[in-house]
Homo-oligomer: A and B are copies of this chain.
Amino acid sequence: MRIGELARRTAVSERSLRYYEQQGLLTAERTPGGHREYAESAVDRVVHIQELFTAGLCSGKIAELLPCMRDADGGPADVADGRLVSSLLVERARIDGQIAALQRSRDVLDEVIEAARPLQ
C-alpha cells in the first residue's frame, strides 16, 4: 500500500510516517518512480511505534528495540544484547514510575471531579 492509505489506516500523518522511515523505524519498497510501497505488516509496526512513542521512548531507543520485537509475521529478528537490556531496564523503571504518577494524577482528577458532582 502507499503512504496515504497507511496514514489513513493507522491515523498517523504522512509526515510522521516519513519521519519514522528517516529514523530507521519503518522501511518501504519504492516504485520505479520513487513512491513508497508498504507491506501489509507496516500497519502493525506503526501501531507499535506509536505505542512506544506514547510510552515516552525516543526514536533511537525504539529503533534499537524494534528488531528484537516479535512481529505480527514471525519471531523476533534479533535478540537484545547486554547493553540494550540494561537500557531497557532503565526504561522499564521509568515506565513504572510514570504509570504510578498517572494513577496518582488520575486519583487527584477523580477527587476534583467527584467534589463537583453535587453541583452538576
Contact = CB atoms under 8 A, between A and B. Distances in A.
Contacts of A113: 80, 85, 88-89, 92
A89 B116 CA distance: 12
A86 to B, nearest CB: 10
A7 interface: no
A102 B98 contact: yes
Contacts of A97: 54
A79 interface: yes
Q: How many copies does the complex hold?
A: 2
A113 B80 CA distance: 7
B109 A91 contact: yes
Interface string A45-59: 000100110111100
A81 interface: yes
A51 B91 CA distance: 18
